[in-house]
Amino acid sequence: MSMSRAVEIAALTKRYGDTTAVTGLDLTVERGTITSLLGPNGAGKTTTVECCVGFRRPDSGTVRVLGLDPRRDGSRLRPRIGVMLQEGAGLYPGSRAAELIAHLARLHASPLDVPTLVERLGLGEAGKTPIRRLSGGQRQRVALAAALVGRPELVFLDEPTAGLDPQMRRSVWELLGDLRADGVTVVLTTHLIDEAEQLSDDVAIVDRGRLVARGSPLELTKQDESTVQFTGPPRMGLESLRQALPESSTVDESAPGRYVVRGQVTPQLLATVTSWCAAHDVMPEGLQVGRRSLEDVVLELTGRRTQ
Ligand SMILES: Nc1ncnc2c1ncn2[C@@H]1O[C@H](COP(=O)(O)OP(=O)(O)OP(=O)(O)O)[C@@H](O)[C@H]1O
């Protein structure tokens, strides 16, 4: 396994009875990056993470985490990774959040500063309350703090911001960004397109147990062809615009008064369109350049939305 790789999954398959949750999945995660597993419900994201942290035994294929086999070498791997599973699993319900986090910090050689972590996750007051009395969102943040406090080399976070309000979600993103700057590798699962898009270096789109696309958000949304759309008077003669555009571009009136130029959108192409409009005394209302969103990519690949 390459030293630059934190995770290497090859041909992973995992079944639960008749359900095949993960089917021949290959995935590598480079050290020091944030990688999101993005996909609809039941895509196999949690199962993949559970195989990585040694909670599940793959039916076939191999999983290496920091060069180790998560099941065979679990005792060597556990001190080096942080894990947060869904719904605060694994927290002691009777303990108080701040005490639990401080206790976990003492088990590690170089933990994060507990008061700062508690503050950044908005757990100041809630820290004094027994975990079983906390709200779902608060428990979620305690679970996140517990996963991070030991300053692990690698963290696996299963839907870390599910149920958090937008402001707290942003705080979590900032915290994860800071950890990455510190060299920590982050692997997370999410349904949230904007989370995957804004936070990740790499996005792995998973559907029906398979990896269907992989790349940076920019790579995934890049396309050779894009569109420029505007509205104007219906039935404009477009022949002179067609001639002015590059050969690879097209222009059509998609509905009365709605015009769509397709092709590689460059500043020159945009200038050609607006100059043509000016020459014809047409105001191109609502002019916009269409760029494929990550949501479009997911929808195209999986036929489903992620949320
Ligand atoms: N313990 C289990 N026993 C039986 N089937 C399971 C079990 N865990 C998961 N599955 C099934 O395996 C498939 C993949 O589930 P998994 O939880 O890995 O997907 P996911 O992408 O994490 O979904 P979600 O986004 O809803 O959490 C689903 O069809 C699910 O119903």
pLDDT, tens digit, for every residue of 219-239?
Answer: 888 766 788 999 999 999 999
Average pLDDT over residues 31-48: 95
Q: How far apart are CA 86 and CA 67, in angstroms?
A: 25
Average pLDDT over residues 270-279: 96
Percent of the chain with pLDDT over 90: 65
* Ligand 1 nearest-atom number relative to CA 206: 21
Indicate the DSSP class of residue 109: S
| Distance in Å, CA 47 to ligand 1 centroid | 6
pLDDT at residue 287 above 90? Answer: yes
Q: What is the CA radius of gyration of the chain?
A: 24
Residue 21, ligand 1, Cβ within 6 A:
yes
- The identity of residue 154, as a single letter, is L
Q: Are 180 and 140 a contacting pair, CB within 8 Å? A: no
Average pLDDT over residues 38-66: 95
Q: How far apart are CA 282 and CA 140, in angstroms?
A: 54
* Ligand 1 nearest-atom number relative to CA 49: 18
| Distance in Å, CA 254 to ligand 1 centroid | 42
The beta strands (E) that lie in 137-249 are given as: 154-158, 185-190, 202-207, 210-215, 226-231
Residue 232, ligand 1, Cβ within 6 A:
no
Average pLDDT over residues 182-187: 95
Q: What pLDDT is attached to residue 136?
A: 85
Q: Which tokens belong to 169?
A: 């979600």
Q: Whose CA is nearest to atom 25 of ligand 1?
A: 41
DSSP string, 58-90: -SEEEEEETTB-TTTTHHHHGGGEEEE-GGGTT
Residue 62, ligand 1, Cβ within 6 A:
no
Q: Are 159 and 7 a contacting pair, CB within 8 Å? A: no
Please tell me the pTM assigned to this model.
Answer: 0.82
Average pLDDT over residues 1-6: 76
State the pLDDT confidence band at 94, using cuts at 50, 70 and 90.
confident
Q: Which tokens belong to 165?
A: 């309000």
Degrees to nearest 5, angle at CA 153 with 54 and 55: 10
Q: What pLDDT is attached to residue 2?
A: 59
DSSP string, 134-161: S-HHHHHHHHHHHHHTT--SEEEEESTT
Q: What pLDDT is attached to residue 6?
A: 97
Q: Is the ipTM of this complex over 0.90?
A: yes
Which of 23, 41, 195, when mutated, tests ligand 1's pocket best, judged by the most ligand atoms within 8 Å of its CB? 41
Q: What pLDDT is attached to residue 1?
A: 54
pLDDT tens figures, 112-125: 999 999 999 988 88
Using alpha carbons, list the distances in angstroms from residue 164 to 8, 70, 168: 30, 30, 6
Q: Which residues contact 4 (CB under 8 A, 6 or more apart)?
A: 30, 31
